[in-house]
Amino acid sequence: MTVLNKKFPTKHTTAPFSLINVSDFNLAIEAEITRTKEEINLIIENDTIPTFENTVEALEYSGAQLDRITSIFFNLNSAETNETIQKLAQEISPKLTELSNDIILNEALFQRVKAVYETKDSLDLTIEQQTLLDKKFKSFSRNGANLAADKKEILREIDKKLSKLSLTFGENVLAETNKFQLHLTDKKDVAGIPNGALEAAKTIAKSENKEGWIFTLDYPSYIPFMKYAENRALRQQMATAFGSKAFKNDELDNQANVLKIAKLRHQRANLLGYETHAHFVLEERMAEKPEKVISFLNELLEKAKPAAEREFKQLSNFAKELDGIEELQSWDSSYYSEKLKQELFNLDDEKLKPYFKLENITAGAFTVAEKLFDIRFEQVFDIDVYHEDVKTYEVFDSNDNFVAVFYADFHPRKGKRNGAWMTSYKSQQRKDGNVERPHVSIVCNFTKPTESKPSLLTFNEVTTLFHEFGHALHGMLADTTYPSLSGTSVFWDFVELPSQVMENWCYEAEALAIFAKHYETDEVIPMEYIEKIKASATFLEGMATLRQISFGLLDMSWHGTDPTNITDVKAHEQAAFENTRLFPKNPKTAMSTAFSHIFQGGYSSGYYSYKWAEVLDADAFEYFKENDIFSKEIASKFAEHVLSKGGTEHPMTLYKRFRGSEPKPEALLKRAGLLVE
């Protein structure tokens, strides 16, 4: 027995990071797999008539400690990994997949769940209990419980292969990200790059005992380089390195992994009676079927493409007039977009960054949450963390009741994957008369403080922090009975609503006055800057929308059709991008081989959900603006009907209860500047 197999001896039973040896995980997880099997056997061997309590509820609460341990392990594998953890992940994932299949494909267990399901109309169940029963029954029926024995074995093999392939995919992307460095020593090669980014690059070089500057593919290093570096050849070098991750026909190449994952997912869907992987996935989404997703994306494409083409022409002409660029390339996009934005709005990130000190933005997000939802955050130093960068907070309501533990991990490092995400170490639930509160974390990759400056964010990073914080609020304000229906456990195309709606406060003067203060003078961001932020909010929005649509269409091209005959990843990708492509093709780069959202994360057949949720969030924020952006009444309705309810009811039911009607796309088109008056 390890410390992981007992009730954690820590404050709020938080993850005991300092007490864990990495080698503990394998033993601890094996022990919990055995315990979970015993819990399942008790359900099966119960000789009384199957009831909601002795079957469905018992199944819901089984494996609780296993869930906690695996959440710690896989969160570490994303945020603080190393070779040992990665090797363990390759060993542990198949075992977990096998357990999952042992449960889902267990005929006796399915018959008990089915017996309860068939009598559901005569049971006096709450809405949440009805949802749980429906979800449990579908988890069996949709995942092979009705298959013949030989087909169940095929399904097991497919699932084992998929679990290992997605891990390998992610490891390759991380290794490729860590592998590349652009080491520069000539001052003219870094012309145009702001002092803050140069100082960060110098800090990296110093850490490796090198002169000059080192730029990497981590976002805080890569993005400023692409936006400001005057040396076009070096921008091309950086962009090609970024775009060719796991696409070099070497040991880290993901082309074969992409093809295998897509084909195995299709094979799995066919085995279960579905036309494609997307048909399987979307059955449990608001969109319901691939045709609806394609129609949704194409409708947006129709609105966005003319605007995108106008913007691209404007950007191309601007680059030609400014620097004689004959053909605008992808590595020119950020650079000339920033130049054009400065010319049109006299606004650039370097002017704004002094007003966006990380600590102030974090405190500002907390204040916005307090104003809206009557919760407060108190930093504490007696909760275990997995890295010294991680900050911890206790969250309380207005009556001083404990609400949640909140972790914030903001800076890049070698063992941390790129991007930003929210995750959970413990779900909210009610059990045996006790209310267990959640432990929620957000993980980002913002520039670290340097010797002379604190961590200063770009405006885009400010919205990223608010986005992930919105996910965190969804987790922290959960108020359900069952953990599998709690917090962000909702339909995938609904999960982005709380995160995306929070971004809206970043554009409002009343909110910016709270947190946008100069890090040296404490001066509130000038009103002229706020007006420019709002004015520039739709700058090149057509191009940005087209880009998001292209990713959604690429996802559907892999998962919404039969991929059996696809042999060339790049050729397939180019065909998927044909209607959305603005820049010339680059034979050295590919999107799919590093498209972690769909080949490693949970967004397969779901990338469209970002745009889908934008329709919801624009409509929801319009409701706030019709009243007051800090309206307690509207915020209370949002917390009650959306944030607290998790996946206890159909999301459209919850949304209509909050808003009074279904969302209208006009609010999004108006906000994006794509609505033709």
What contacts 278, CB < 8 A, 6 or more positions away? 290, 293, 556, 559, 560, 605
Q: Which residues, 6+ apart, have CB-to-CB distance to 378 below 8 Å?
A: 393, 394, 395, 396
Nearest residue to 569 (alpha-carbon basis) of 550, 594, 600? 594
Domains, the chain, ordered by start: 3-104+106-146 (1.20.1050.40), 180-243 (no CATH)
Residue reference for tokens 């609020």: 473
Give residue 93's pLDDT.
94
SS3 content of the chain, % helix, strand, coil (to 5): 60, 5, 30
CA nearest to 3, candidates 15, 20, 18 = 20
Task: Give tens-digit pLDDT for 105-126.
Answer: 999 999 999 999 999 999 999 9
| Digit-coded pLDDT (tens) for 528-548 | 999 999 889 899 999 999 999
Return d(Cα 613, Cα 494) in angstroms, integer: 6
Listed in sequence order, the residues at least 6 apart from 337 whose beta carbon sits closer than 8 Å to its beta carbon are 227, 315, 539, 540
pLDDT of residue 166: 96
Residue 468 known to be catalytic: yes
* Dihedral class, residue 431 (left if φ above 0, else alpha if ψ from -120 to 50, else beta): beta
Quote the radius of gyration of the chain (alpha carbons, Å): 25
Cα 140 to the center of its chain, rounded Å = 27
Nearest to 521 by CA among 665, 354, 380: 354
CB 101 within 8 A of CB 171: no
Is the pLDDT at 1 greater than 90, yes or no?
no
Position with higher pLDDT, 675 vs 328: 328
The dihedral through the CA atoms of 476, 482, 483, 486 has a sign that is negative
Buried/exposed 570-600: b ≥16 CB within 10 Å, e otherwise: bebbeebbeebebbeeeeebbbbbbbbbbbb
The span from the CA of 406 to the CA of 472, in Å, is 8
In whole angstroms, give the CA distance from residue 4 to residue 540: 50
The pair of structure tokens assigned to 409 is 């991990």
Mean pLDDT of the chain: 95
Residue showing tokens 């932020």 = 533
Lowest mean pLDDT among 302-306, 323-327, 353-357, 663-667: 663-667
Euclidean distance between CA atoms 658 and 648, whole angstroms: 15
If you average pLDDT over residues 431-445, what whole number do you get? 95
The pLDDT score that the predictor gives to residue 671 is: 85
Length of the chain: 677
Query: Are 577 and 554 spatial neighbours (Cβ–Cβ below 8 Å)?
Result: yes
Residues pairing with 404 in the sheet: 395
Q: At what angle do helices 24-45 and 107-118 cross, to 10 degrees?
A: 50
Nearest 10 degrees: CA dihedral of 445, 451, 453, 456? 0
- Closest to 100 (Cα-Cα) out of 148, 147, 69, 143: 143
**Alpha carbon of 650 to those of 291, 541, 606, 635: distances in Å?**
20, 31, 17, 20
Strand 434-436 relative to strand 391-397: parallel, antiparallel, unpaired?
unpaired
- CB of 637 within 8 A of CB of 658? yes
Q: Say what the pLDDT of residue 33 is.
A: 97
- Both tokens of residue 209? 């005992």
Predicted local distance difference test score (pLDDT) of residue 501: 96
For residue 135, the model assigns a pLDDT of: 96
pLDDT at residue 674 in the model: 81
Please name which of 614, 626, 624, 627 lies closest in space to residue 665, comparing C-alpha atoms. Answer: 614
392 DSSP assignment: E
Joined together, the tokens standing for residue 67 give 């869930």
Q: Is 23 exposed, middle or buried (0-12, 13-18, 19+ CB in 10 A)?
A: exposed
Selecting among 468, 508, 573, 622, the annotated active-site residue is 468
Structure letter (DSSP) for residue 456: B
Q: How far apart are the first and last CA of the chain?
A: 67
What average pLDDT does the segment 77-105 reach? 95
pLDDT band at 143 (very low <50, low <70, confident <90, very high): very high
Dihedral of the alpha carbons of 590, 595, 596, 598, in degrees to the nearest 10: -140
Q: Tokens for 568?
A: 């060339």
Count of C-beta atoms within a 10 Å radius of residue 301: 18
The structure's pTM equals: 0.89
593-616 residue pLDDT tens:
999 999 998 899 999 999 999 999
Q: Are 608 and 493 spatial neighbours (Cβ–Cβ below 8 Å)?
A: yes
Residues sharing a CB contact under 8 Å with residue 354, sequence separation 6 or more, in sequence order: 456, 518, 519, 520
Which residue reads 């910016």 in tokens? 512
Contact, 325 vs 319, CB < 8 A?
yes
**Separation CA 156–CA 161 (nearest Å):** 9
Q: Give the SS3 label for residue 441.
A: strand
Model confidence at 257, pLDDT cuts 50, 70, 90, reads very high
State mean pLDDT over 120-141.
96
Instruction: For residue 668, give both structure tokens.
Output: 């999004």
Of residues 333, 327, 335, 331, the one with CA closest to residue 239? 331
Tokens of residue 588, six digits: 């050295």
pLDDT per residue over 394-431, tens digit each?
999 999 999 999 999 999 999 998 899 999 999 999 99
Contact at 8 Å (CB) between 300 and 618?
no
b vs e for 603-621, b when ≥16 Cβ sit within 10 Å of the residue's Cβ? bbbbbbbbbbbbbbbbbbb
Q: Tell me: pLDDT of 137 over 80.
A: yes
Q: Which residue blocks in 142-287 are alpha helix, DSSP H? A: 149-179, 195-207, 219-228, 232-243, 255-271, 277-282
Tally of CB atoms within 10 A around 422? 23
For residue 676, pLDDT over 60 is answered with no
For 406, phi then psi, to 5°, come to -125, 125
